[in-house]
Structure 1
């Protein structure tokens, strides 16, 4: 009897002693970091009005209300605008460090203190999203949110095999797993209680709640207001769908087949709130918590499936675009690119261009091959300084930024930056920037370089040193 009980306990202990939901916690950290940085920067010009002694709530009024409520904020320590600027800018720095995941747990504590300090300084402009974010950030203090996509992730995975059997690691794992579990349970409680309150409301029962929400100008966009108010079916559907997705959330979340449906449902729900009602930060905060609902294995499987799908789509597109590239109008636009075969950066650039060349309009040749310079009349010294290109059939050579512009016009993903390259060239800075980068690349002569090497001796000595 005792052995059977211990066997049943073992899977639970194994789960507790092994950190789960690491990818979701890391994505949530990145999401909250972006939201906090957005909040700091979007209000930067109005920071004095919103949070300082010279703004909506002066220091004396804030101190009186905070003393009554027992709140704490770093901004209460001094009414000075200089001190305010110091704390505000330190908050921006901490938010950036939290975003990149440097010194995870220590920065998480600082970020939590700076965040609640900013929220408590002026509660008049806060909403429910700020309260939820404050709660989730507190739980994440006990979680490992820097295992992935962070400045400390490499160090973590190097140390983990050495410490994962220690008592300290197991204690941290227990705290991490319970912290994520508390986030999920709180999310379930919020959705369930919200759904139950909606069920008890008359306008939600008769399907007209969305109609009345759209009557409030502060929480409705004129375009969607005019669009939805003319469609009774859309109003009723949106009203009942918001109730159903909230009530179903806690019950469908823990089934592997229905989880994705309900997660997509709440993300769609909050996306609609952000677009129609303009509550962007609230919706983003709720969507960031949803990252915690997916396990590491599910994220990895999703990444594998998406990568496989992307390869299939890429292969299909490449096959069709290459067929278009063989048509005469496009064949006449083919370009040959002369690059430095001794330059690792140039070789990497060529590999990238080959992957992006959907229509197959680019050909490549290293000017380091003697036959290339002779066949195309290239000056080796000029070709070493700048990449060159020419359209097949033409005699004009394009060098430096001009060659890069000619290439960008034939690479579909580069069409977005092609106008910027042309503008930089017109302003006279394009060639200078290109030469600045090209002059600092590393050249590695094939087979080494001796006294007979035709490279300038100063440059050879530089790279040998």
Structure 2
């Protein structure tokens, strides 16, 4: 028994769930920072709604310290906020995950306590979970760090092998704390609801949905107009929250509970305009499945997903190999070494085989797909139906939307596109790429003879 416990503790568990939690949380924090960017000085500035004097007095009463204690300089907020955007993005994709998990926690902690009137219950939960996350191996799966380790092929050092069991122990204990925090939240939330008179009478959901901030025009009215529906939603939400920790004790009821939690929070996010709160709660749900269960899920769904093809394809497909609704075709420059390397990397990240890459330099491709030779030579093109094409930064966004590991970059790409920087940066990079025709040089490249004595 003791040996089995020792073996369990000395090997890290729930690595995939922790990685998914990292990705979802990083996306949520990035969205939060981008959404509040125009009003950051009003919410967290020294002359905003919560002046520095009030903040320092409250911090002293609580006995806490944040990054905003470092200096009174006005650039501190810009440094914390701008730095938070950078570290949250790198944290999401899993680059330098261990140190940046600490940085993300410090930024989130500092903003949380700089103005305690801004956060909600979801922020409070994530503040606690981010603390535990610092002790986990959050970058072991679905991360740039893991990809770089596999690519290097270097064996771990003797010191790393010696410390591995201790790192696994801290990881497992932190995961247990994160799951325990989630279960405690569910159970106590249900118990507090039971003590409320409106929840006992079955009317709490009605009054909550009548609050103006939680109204979904045209939809909320349909729900609160149904007396039976309101009573069912009120009682079922209480029973579900109280029963949730106990449902996890059985394998099959566990899956039903997790699926119910995902649907429950998706409904709360849509119906009550609590999107970010629901997003954080869903991020925590991924912790409840083990690595074995994620592998089983992947193996179960693999036959239902399209197989990954090569780097070229012909227009159209047979009836037996019909592409999914997510499938797209991307046209790249096969004479550009940078482009081909990028395509190779993207192919490795195309886990579901949603992208098929075609070099427009292949004979007949321009005519077959009715492409504009000048445009396709300047910018990457993509299409889902062979009729409508996206190019440049739009094509990149189209492609990244099919690469799960790069999904966290989509808000930044969209923001760059809206600001007009994305297309300019793309064109600047594309104009400086090196093109070498396959099979030798033509009028586009020149081979100079070496000078005498060289």
Q: Which TM-score bucket, shorter chain as reference?
A: 0.7 to 0.9
Partner of residue 114, structure 1: 107
1:318-345 CA distance string (max 9 Å, x none): 544989xxxxxxxxxxxxxx99987786
Partner of residue 455, structure 1: 442
**Counterpart Cα distance in 2 of 1:209 and 1:110:** 40
Deviation at 1:400, TM superposition (A): 3.2
Contact 2:333 2:360 in 1 (8 A): no
Deviation at 1:220, TM superposition (A): 2.5
**Among 405, 412, 427, the residue aligned to 2:385:** 412
1:30-83 CA distance string (max 9 Å, x none): 111111111111111101100011100111111112111212221133333222
Contact 2:21 2:283 in 1 (8 A): yes
Residue 4 (structure 2) pairs with residue 11 (structure 1): yes
For residue 180 of structure 1, give the secondary structure of its aligned residue in structure 2.
Answer: helix
Partner of residue 190, structure 1: 185
Which fold has the larger relative contact order, with Cα–Cα distance below 8 Å and residues 6 or more apart in sequence? 2
For residue 262 of structure 1, give the secondary structure of its aligned residue in structure 2.
Answer: helix
**Among 147, 159, 165, the residue aligned to 1:154:** 147
Contact 1:207 1:235 in 2 (8 A): yes
Residue 225 (structure 2) pairs with residue 230 (structure 1): yes
**Counterpart Cα distance in 2 of 1:357 and 1:65:** 53
1:180-219 CA distance string (max 9 Å, x none): 0111111111111111222233322332211111121122
Partner of residue 409, structure 2: none
Cα–Cα, structure 1 residues 365 and 264, in superposed 2: closer, same or farther, change >3 Å?
Answer: same
Cα–Cα, structure 1 residues 403 and 79, in superposed 2: closer, same or farther, change >3 Å?
Answer: closer
For residue 367 of structure 2, give the secondary structure of its aligned residue in structure 1.
Answer: strand
Contact 2:14 2:287 in 1 (8 A): yes
Residues 345-364 of structure 1 mapped to structure 2, 5 A cutoff: none
**Among 270, 276, 282, the residue aligned to 2:271:** 276
Deviation at 1:145, TM superposition (A): 0.2
Partner of residue 420, structure 2: none
Partner of residue 381, structure 1: none
Partner of residue 383, structure 1: none
Cα–Cα, structure 1 residues 79 and 298, in superposed 2: closer, same or farther, change >3 Å?
Answer: same
For residue 124 of structure 1, give the secondary structure of its aligned residue in structure 2.
Answer: coil
**Counterpart Cα distance in 2 of 1:287 and 1:161:** 34
Cα–Cα, structure 1 residues 305 and 160, in superposed 2: closer, same or farther, change >3 Å?
Answer: farther
Instruction: Please provide the CA RMSD for this pair.
Output: 4.1
Residue 105 (structure 2) pairs with residue 131 (structure 1): no
**Counterpart Cα distance in 1 of 2:40 and 2:75:** 13
Residue 133 (structure 2) pairs with residue 140 (structure 1): yes
**Among 196, 200, 203, the residue aligned to 1:201:** 196
Contact 1:340 1:347 in 2 (8 A): no
**Counterpart Cα distance in 1 of 2:289 and 2:101:** 22
**Among 66, 75, 83, the residue aligned to 2:68:** 75
In structure 2, list runs of 5 or more residues that go unmatched.
310-315, 323-330, 348-352, 396-422, 450-454
For residue 263 of structure 2, give the secondary structure of its aligned residue in structure 1.
Answer: helix
Residue 85 (structure 2) pairs with residue 92 (structure 1): yes
Residue 17 (structure 2) pairs with residue 24 (structure 1): yes
Partner of residue 53, structure 2: 60
Taking structure 2 as the reference length, the TM-score comes to: 0.74
Partner of residue 283, structure 2: 288
**Counterpart Cα distance in 2 of 1:83 and 1:348:** 38
Partner of residue 388, structure 1: 366
**Counterpart Cα distance in 2 of 1:364 and 1:40:** 40
Contact 1:105 1:141 in 2 (8 A): yes
**Among 166, 178, 181, the residue aligned to 2:176:** 181
Cα–Cα, structure 1 residues 170 and 207, in superposed 2: closer, same or farther, change >3 Å?
Answer: same
In structure 1, list runs of 5 or more residues that go unmatched.
1-7, 324-337, 373-386, 422-428
Partner of residue 255, structure 2: 260
Partner of residue 34, structure 2: 41
Cα–Cα, structure 1 residues 141 and 203, in superposed 2: closer, same or farther, change >3 Å?
Answer: same
Partner of residue 294, structure 2: 299
Taking structure 1 as the reference length, the TM-score comes to: 0.73
Cα–Cα, structure 1 residues 183 and 343, in superposed 2: closer, same or farther, change >3 Å?
Answer: closer
**Counterpart Cα distance in 1 of 2:75 and 2:369:** 60
Partner of residue 313, structure 2: none
Work out the number of aligned pairs and report it: 395
Deviation at 1:121, TM superposition (A): 0.2
Range that drifts further, 173-182 or 212-221: 212-221
Contact 1:388 1:400 in 2 (8 A): no
Contact 1:73 1:116 in 2 (8 A): yes
**Counterpart Cα distance in 1 of 2:442 and 2:173:** 63
**Counterpart Cα distance in 2 of 1:88 and 1:363:** 42
**Counterpart Cα distance in 2 of 1:30 and 1:356:** 21
Contact 2:336 2:433 in 1 (8 A): no
**Counterpart Cα distance in 2 of 1:193 and 1:391:** 60
Cα–Cα, structure 1 residues 34 and 413, in superposed 2: closer, same or farther, change >3 Å?
Answer: farther
